[in-house]
Amino acid sequence: MDFNDILQCRRTIRRFAQTPVADADLRALLEAARLASSAANRQPLRYIVVRTPELVAKLLPLTAWAARVAPRRTPRLGESAPTAFLAVIAPTDAHSEWTQADAGAAIQSIEFAAVERGLGCCWIGALQREKLAEVLQLPPDRKLLYLVAVGYPAETPCHEDATSPEQVGYYLDDHDRLHVPKLTVDQLTTWR
Ligand SMILES: Cc1cc2nc3c(=O)[nH]c(=O)nc-3n(C[C@H](O)[C@H](O)[C@H](O)COP(=O)(O)O)c2cc1C
């Protein structure tokens, strides 16, 4: 797979096969994350790998999945749930904008590395963070920024050119395939 294939193929996955992901593959995703850009190269982010079925089952109800495509893309335990989560953690007192930017760079790298391995991800920001902090046993000086759900995809979403900035809502077609409209370079860009 060349890099353009990875760019084109990466889509958020919300329906997963129930095949566990090997620890070596999860580790490879974190290898990608650790090499990402970081403001002033401070590297404030830390990660917790959750891949035991017991802990995955505790985290899943504390996550929210795209309402636009619910309930068909709301993962169910034992049927379509991710088999792992990567928790992205930051110091409570970290500069929030730059730490958020670091998280973006790291998570995007995780997503690309996942595609190369035949895995899929969902970057999840809609989280019950206080409850998750308890389940993950975070100390008071650490906060949960995001979860990244990981697993083998059981859907094949695709992107298409958006016709206008108002029409970016993703949708399931008559064959239950997820379509994700993306604005074109011309819609997004001014050249000076
Ligand atoms: C910061 C951020 C937070 C997100 N949070 C959620 C979420 O809580 N639940 C969810 O189902 N998807 C979430 N997503 C995934 C987006 O819905 C998805 O990226 C978007 O629909 C575009 O699809 P694509 O990733 O396939 O390009 C999040 C994405 C980002 C970047």
**Which CATH number goes with the domain that contains 111?**
3.40.109.10
Q: Is 60 in the pocket of ligand 1 (CB under 6 A)?
A: no
Q: Is 65 in the pocket of ligand 1 (CB under 6 A)?
A: yes
Amino acid at 98: W
> pTM, whole model, 2 decimals?
0.97
Mean residue pLDDT across the chain? 97
pLDDT digits (tens, 9 = 90+) for 22-80: 999 999 999 999 999 999 999 999 999 999 999 999 999 999 999 999 999 999 999 99
Q: Which atom of ligand 1 approaches the CA of 63 most closely?
A: 8
- Whether the upstream peptide bond of residue 75 has omega within 30° of 0, thus cis, is no
The closest alpha carbon to 56, from 97, 87, 35, belongs to 87
Local structure of 99: helix, strand or coil: helix
Residues 141, 89 share a domain: yes
Whether the pLDDT of residue 3 is over 90: the answer is yes
Residues 93, 181 share a domain: no
Residues 169, 151 share a domain: no
Residues 167, 92 share a domain: no
Residues 175, 106 share a domain: no
d(CA 126, CA 146) in angstroms, rounded, equals 8
Query: What residue numbers bound the domain in which 114 lies?
Result: 3-156
Residues 189, 100 share a domain: no
Task: Decide if 46 contacts 138 (C-beta within 8 A).
Answer: no
Strand 84-91 vs strand 46-50: parallel, antiparallel, or unpaired?
antiparallel
Whether the pLDDT of residue 20 is over 90: the answer is yes
d(CA 86, CA 141) in angstroms, rounded, equals 19
Residues 117, 30 share a domain: yes
pLDDT digits (tens, 9 = 90+) for 149-164: 999 999 999 999 999 9
Residue 22 DSSP class: P
pLDDT digits (tens, 9 = 90+) for 67-114: 999 999 999 999 999 999 999 999 998 879 999 999 999 999 999 999
Residues 114, 52 share a domain: yes
**What per-residue confidence (pLDDT) applies to 95?**
79
Cα 125 to middle of ligand 1, angstroms = 8
Residues 59, 98 share a domain: yes
Whether the pLDDT of residue 127 is over 90: the answer is yes
Q: Is 105 in the pocket of ligand 1 (CB under 6 A)?
A: no
Give the per-residue SS3 of 120-162: EEEEECCECHHHHHHHCCCCCCEEEEEEEEEECECCCCEEEEC
